[in-house]
Amino acid sequence: VTGTFGDRLVARVAERRSQIVLGLDPDPARLWPAGASVAQEAKGDVAHRVASGVVAHCRAVIDAAGAECVAVKPQVACFERLGAPGWAALHEVAEHARAAGLLVLADAKRGDIDVSAAAYAQAFFGGVSTPWGEVPGLHADALTVNPLLGADSIVPFLTAARTSGAGLFLLVRTSNEGARDVQEAELTGGGILSDRLAALVARLGSEAGPLSDVGAVVGATAPEHLARLRDLMPRAVFLLPGVGAQGGRVEALAAAFSPGAAGGLIAASRGIVRAHESVGGDPAGAAHAAAADLRKQAWALGSSGSGQPDAGV
């Protein structure tokens, strides 16, 4: 791996002319026919059958919509609930995404202290050395991390990420209603808790290149925070969930792209994977069309950013 996460992302976004991140949140009850038929015919216990269906489903989704995207974002919870076969499925899906030229942003929202944080980082990045050899990690290109435990809990993740040329996305302002409960707590020094989390993002991130290797999760559902958070984190990549089903609108996200086309990544899951439920047709065709529309909409908005004018040409 060469280059920092920021540099790699800028190059990949320019190459694919896309800022769309394909969310993979497989629900066993809603697999595409390509996945359901594999689970139906698979041998073994229920978890293995479902996990094999999940892999086939995610592969089909990637094959259908991946060309319009720059990355996938597997929701780790959806794999973890399938136990050991689910973890194997997560590795298989990541491998398929990489083979399709996509970055892998593991949405795991992990957070823990010292050696435990380092152990999670081993799981998601480079693996662990043992007296019996190496156990491989997921080799994700980035991981979402929950910063409630503070800077010293983030450093082990960051150290491991940098060794792999990978990045982190810290939760700064999530897309749910309840984000207000804690993240909008008002601080005596002024501002809200999200602002303090944003300061952590800015402080911990790399200083080289146009974009830092520590980004921020900023919900597209709360665009009123976007410009202020951008000021606080001028070089952070914003991972923007909540477009579509949750009510976020692409056109409200312009501030995310001020450092350049790769400054904002728009995560979409249901809007792509379940597009056929609202527009009809086969799932693959509907997913491709939905991803293509979203890509064009975002690219029109995001490729005019001042920082990376040539990335948008």
Footprint (CB under 8 A) of a copy of itself, residues 75-114: 75, 77-78, 80-88, 91, 107, 109-114
Q: How far apart are CA 271 and CA 268, in angstroms?
A: 6
- Least separation in angstroms between CB 44 and a copy of itself: 10
Tokens for 220, please give them.
């597209």
Binding positions for a copy of itself, 142-171, rule CB under 8 A: 146-153, 171
- Least separation in angstroms between CB 292 and a copy of itself: 26
- Least separation in angstroms between CB 263 and a copy of itself: 24
Q: What are phi and psi of 261, to 5 degrees?
A: -60, -30
Site string for a copy of itself, 38-77 (x = CB under 8 A): -xx-----xx-xx--x---------------------x-x
Name the residue nearer to a copy of itself (CB basis): 4 or 174. Answer: 174
Q: Of residues 43, 73, 109, 296, which has the active-site annotation?
A: 109
137 binds a copy of itself (CB under 8 A): yes
Name the residue nearer to a copy of itself (CB basis): 15 or 27. Answer: 27
Tokens for 25, please give them.
């949140």
Name the residue nearer to a copy of itself (CB basis): 67 or 118. Answer: 118
Residue among 193, 202, 252, 254 that touches a copy of itself (CB under 8 A) = 193
Q: How far apart are CA 264 and CA 247, in angstroms?
A: 18
Name the residue nearer to a copy of itself (CB basis): 3 or 136. Answer: 136
Name the residue nearer to a copy of itself (CB basis): 107 or 141. Answer: 107
Q: How far apart are CA 225 and CA 287, in angstroms?
A: 30
Pairing of strands 128-130, 103-110: unpaired
Tokens for 266, please give them.
């728009």
Q: How far apart are CA 252 and CA 247, in angstroms?
A: 11
Q: How far apart are CA 194 and CA 189, in angstroms?
A: 13
Name the residue nearer to a copy of itself (CB basis): 53 or 264. Answer: 53
Residue among 34, 117, 158, 291 that touches a copy of itself (CB under 8 A) = 117
Binding positions for a copy of itself, 14-33, rule CB under 8 A: 25, 27-29
- Least separation in angstroms between CB 258 and a copy of itself: 26
Residue among 67, 100, 128, 254 that touches a copy of itself (CB under 8 A) = 128
What 3-state DSSP class applies to 104? strand
Q: What are phi and psi of 216, to 5 degrees?
A: -135, 140
Binding positions for a copy of itself, 261-280, rule CB under 8 A: none
Is residue 109 flagged as an active site residue?
A: yes
Site string for a copy of itself, 168-187 (x = CB under 8 A): ---x--xxxxxxxxxx-xxx
Tokens for 201, please give them.
């993002």
- Least separation in angstroms between CB 155 and a copy of itself: 8
Q: Spell out the residues 6+ positions from residue 100 whose beta carbon is closer than 8 angstroms to its own.
A: 62, 63, 66, 67
* CA neighbor of 142 nearest in space, from 70, 88, 190, 199: 70
Q: How far apart are CA 272 and CA 291, in angstroms?
A: 6
231 binds a copy of itself (CB under 8 A): no
Q: Spell out the residues 6+ positions from residue 271 whose beta carbon is closer than 8 angstroms to its own.
A: 243, 244, 245, 290, 294
What 3-state DSSP class applies to 134? strand
- Least separation in angstroms between CB 134 and a copy of itself: 6
* Number of residues lying near a copy of itself (CB under 8 A): 77
Q: Which residues are catalytic?
A: 109
